[in-house]
Structure 1
Amino acid sequence: MADHKGHDARRPALLKRLPLVLTAGLALAALPTVAHADDDPVVGGGTCGGMRLYVTACAQSPAQGGGGETAQKSSTGSGAKDSGDAPKCSTEKVDPPPPAGSPLWEGHQPGDGAVYRIWCDTGRAGVIWAGNAPAAQAVDPEVLARQAVDRMKLTGPDINISPKPGGKGLVGMPVWLAVNPSPTTYGPNSATATAGGVTVTATAQVARIDWAMGDGQHVVCNGPGKPYKKEYGLATSDCGYVYPQPSTRQPGGTYPVTATATWNVTWQVTGGGAQNGQFTQTRQSSVQVTIVESQAVNQ
């Protein structure tokens, strides 16, 4: 897992997700294949990585060039002054357009906007519908989105576990797993980044927390959990765990408990219409928990 300063490895991602029931094969069949020059992308050609449930426009290998149907294309220049060597993006209107009823229209009718291919030299590529032609960009918006996330200074979860670190829990008794939410430890958190005339706003929110309990078991919680209070007595938590063995045989006599938060990040180009996307990042925090047999507490 990446620490709170790390980034998830980049991989090609769709700019806008299609319904999960749509397989890549069906989506590709719905989109007419257009032949291009050697340096242009072609749907279904070249090598693709990343998720398989979404339409992906793959980089075409040099041997796949050729003439054929035409396409209206808009590419960026050498880059704006404030973007330096930032990754660049290109757009291309799909011509001929997908047939009426294709999922690529996203519920719109032919003639109501158009379907565009967008790809960036970072390897990110996809197919979107837009009411107006997306503007040429001298920077990959997802790169800016990741820069915006850096500005949020997201950290690992603020763990609020019971028994507390330094205290003792009992074998067979419930352990309450919770975190204290804040903008940097749980979200929501938003920030913007600008380069090459493009401004992107990113919003991050924890979607789930994976608790590695230190004995080989995991508990996945879809919320922050509920901190324990004395009045709860021996009640169990919706986000909790029961240790079947004491921690006495563990190094240091404790279980290392690690909470890994998965952040969902959504981003939107300001004034960019359909230009948006999402990715995930993770952050971790750890504590040590002591679990003993009940008779050991009374000694």
Structure 2
Amino acid sequence: MRSRLLTTFALASVFLAVGAGPALAEGRPPDPPGPGGTAYVDPEGNPTAGATDGGASTGGGSGGGGGSGESQCHWEVSIEDDLLYPIYDVDTLTTQHSQTGRWLQYWCDGIGVVDVDGFFATPEGGLVDPEALALEALESIGIEGPSIRTSPSADGRLYVRIPTWMWIEQGWWQTYQATAAAGRVTSTVTARPVSTSWSMGDGNSVRCTGPGTPWRPGLADDATDCRHTYRHSSAGASGERYSLQATVTLQVTWTSNVTDGGTLPAITRTSSVDVEVGEIQAIGTD
């Protein structure tokens, strides 16, 4: 059930809420038309395009033509654009939006506007929650696990007492976006990677701000904060290898064409590679 609503017309405020008011004596009104429907009239009383079958009027709320003693009822547009005439949730003061921007009311001749399920305003096409729409977009964003790189290369062998540099491939470390829509309402989520937590497999962990620095000849060891020096070989570990795992945290924000948006809980993506860590044997000479 929708929350109580408040709509603002210029300087006048009108509550669209559950309350005492005219009601139909017979049955429930027919469901309102969907987006682009033909069974309501505009604010000037003109049928919408295509309303040629008498569907804009029902007798006594029963959905059919009524006799002369019955009230003639129809759906009509009460608000043409909820961006121009905002509708607010009374409890949260957040704006409410229909799929088309239009809101309908059920009007009966001789009675006036009657409530439907306790409400005097019905969102055409249904009510849209922009934040929930943003969550839908986030589910579809499709971010794979990060691409792990190391020096020495994880494809070969890492070594005890030699610093291992770790970083995330630059092509993966980017801003991701996805958009979801419901009618004219759209919400876009943006996910930005901000930090990486490395589990080295030997019981140690390293946390880095950013993706890390790719190694290249001539760089000093302190040119990166994403490095680790193994003290023990992986001999004796499962499969004679350590599991090197990278977990990236991404901050998530969202925007919408109908409201300001905000932040969503951060998300993470994780990848791992198995690495062999060996020892360099010193060879003595006379």
TM range (shorter): 0.5 to 0.7
The alpha-carbon deviation at position 150 of structure 1 amounts to 3.9
Do the aligned partners of residues 186 and 233 (structure 1) sit closer, same or farther apart at CA in structure 2, a change above 3 Å counting? closer
Tell me, what secondary structure is at the counterpart of 2:281? helix
Of 214, 226, 239, the match for 1:227 = 214
Listed as ranges, the matches of 1:103-122 within 5 Å are: 116-118=92-94
Of 170, 180, 186, the match for 2:173 = 186
Aligned to 1:171: 160
Unaligned segments of structure 2, at least 5 residues: 5-13, 19-30, 36-86, 99-126
Which whole-Å CA distance do the structure 1 matches of 2:157 and 2:238 have between them?
Answer: 16
Tell me, what secondary structure is at the counterpart of 2:177? strand
Could you give the per-residue CA deviations for residues 88-120 of structure 1, whole angstroms, max 9, x where no partner exists? xx95346xxxxxxxxxxxxxxxxxxxxx445xx
Which TM-score applies when normalising by structure 1? 0.53
> Number of matched residues?
184
CA contact (8 A) 2:149 2:166 kept: yes
**Paired AA for residue 291 in structure 1:** V
The alpha-carbon deviation at position 39 of structure 1 amounts to 9.3
Listed as ranges, the matches of 1:237-256 within 5 Å are: 237-256=224-243
Tell me, what secondary structure is at the counterpart of 2:136? helix
When structure 1 is superposed on structure 2, of 251-260 and 232-241 the one drifting more is 232-241
Aligned to 1:283: 269
Higher share in helix:
1
Which whole-Å CA distance do the structure 1 matches of 2:281 and 2:240 have between them?
Answer: 16
Higher share in strand:
2
Which whole-Å CA distance do the structure 1 matches of 2:186 and 2:32 have between them?
Answer: 15
Which TM-score applies when normalising by structure 2? 0.55
Aligned to 2:131: 142
CA contact (8 A) 2:3 2:90 kept: no
The alpha-carbon deviation at position 261 of structure 1 amounts to 1.2
Which whole-Å CA distance do the structure 1 matches of 2:33 and 2:265 have between them?
Answer: 26
The alpha-carbon deviation at position 221 of structure 1 amounts to 1.1
Do the aligned partners of residues 233 and 220 (structure 1) sit closer, same or farther apart at CA in structure 2, a change above 3 Å counting? closer
Could you give the per-residue CA deviations for residues 148-186 of structure 1, whole angstroms, max 9, x where no partner exists? 23443211111111221231222122110101123xx32
Aligned to 1:266: 253
**Paired AA for residue 147 in structure 1:** E
Do the aligned partners of residues 238 and 277 (structure 1) sit closer, same or farther apart at CA in structure 2, a change above 3 Å counting? closer
Aligned to 1:92: 89
Which whole-Å CA distance do the structure 2 matches of 1:166 and 1:150 have between them?
Answer: 33
Do the aligned partners of residues 268 and 236 (structure 1) sit closer, same or farther apart at CA in structure 2, a change above 3 Å counting? closer
Unaligned segments of structure 1, at least 5 residues: 1-37, 42-70, 83-89, 95-115, 119-133
Determine which structure has more spread, i.e. the larger CA radius of gyration: 2
Which whole-Å CA distance do the structure 1 matches of 2:144 and 2:257 have between them?
Answer: 26
Do the aligned partners of residues 211 and 251 (structure 1) sit closer, same or farther apart at CA in structure 2, a change above 3 Å counting? same
Aligned to 2:195: 208
The alpha-carbon deviation at position 192 of structure 1 amounts to 1.3
Could you give the per-residue CA deviations for residues 18-69 of structure 1, whole angstroms, max 9, x where no partner exists? xxxxxxxxxxxxxxxxxxxx9979xxxxxxxxxxxxxxxxxxxxxxxxxxxx
When structure 1 is superposed on structure 2, of 148-157 and 239-248 the one drifting more is 148-157
CA contact (8 A) 1:174 1:236 kept: no
**Paired AA for residue 225 in structure 1:** G
Which whole-Å CA distance do the structure 2 matches of 1:140 and 1:237 have between them?
Answer: 44
**Overall identity of the aligned pairs, in %:** 32
Q: Which has the higher contact order (CA 8 A, sep 6+)?
A: 1
CA contact (8 A) 1:269 1:276 kept: no
CA contact (8 A) 1:174 1:237 kept: no
**Paired AA for residue 256 in structure 1:** S
Could you give the per-residue CA deviations for residues 239-262 of structure 1, whole angstroms, max 9, x where no partner exists? 111112111111111111111111
